[in-house]
Amino acid sequence: MPTQAKQQNQSISGFEPYQAVKGEEYMGKPMRAHFTKILNKWKQDLMQEVDRTVDHMKDEAANFPDPADRASQEEEFSLELRARDRERKLIKKIDKTLQLIEDEEYGWCESCGVEIGVKRLEARPTADMCVDCKTLAEIKEKQVGK
């Protein structure tokens, strides 16, 4: 396959979509290895972002005499810390998902038990519900929120 066509087939995270072999068992060893690789890379990228944030905050931390400058810097740091907090929660979810793979319980809907599907898992590797159950959960959430 030419390089350009190969690059177009790659997913956002830089991985090629999983190509199941005819008759292959759903969530067999090769499929679990594929998702383990994706999740570990995603976690590594998030951890690098945390390190960059710490370095950035150390480098940029200054005691500005002007209150407006100080407030701007504090707001910038606050936004960064909120983003890192969301990423921290995502890292915990990635760890939980990696444990599910190790326990061979990954890839099935926690609500109804059906296969979540490779395409959905490649789009959202930490998904723990099939599309139908997730849609119903979101509808219920909207109704309760009103």
Please name the residues in contact with 72: beta carbons below 8 A apart, sequence gap of 6 or more: none
74 is in an annotated binding site: no
Q: Mind giving me the DSSP string for 1-45?
A: --HHHHHHHS-TTSPPPP-PPTTPPTT-HHHHHHHHHHHHHHHHH
> Is 109 among the annotated ligand-binding positions?
yes
CA 34, 37, 39, 45 torsion-angle sign: negative
What's the number of CA atoms in the CB half-sphere (13 Å) around residue 38?
24
CA atoms of 133 and 120, how far apart (whole Å): 13
Does the annotation place 112 within a ligand binding site?
yes
Mark the binding-site residues, compressed into ranges. Answer: 109, 112, 130, 133
Mark the binding-site residues for Zn(2+), compressed into ranges. Answer: 109, 112, 130, 133
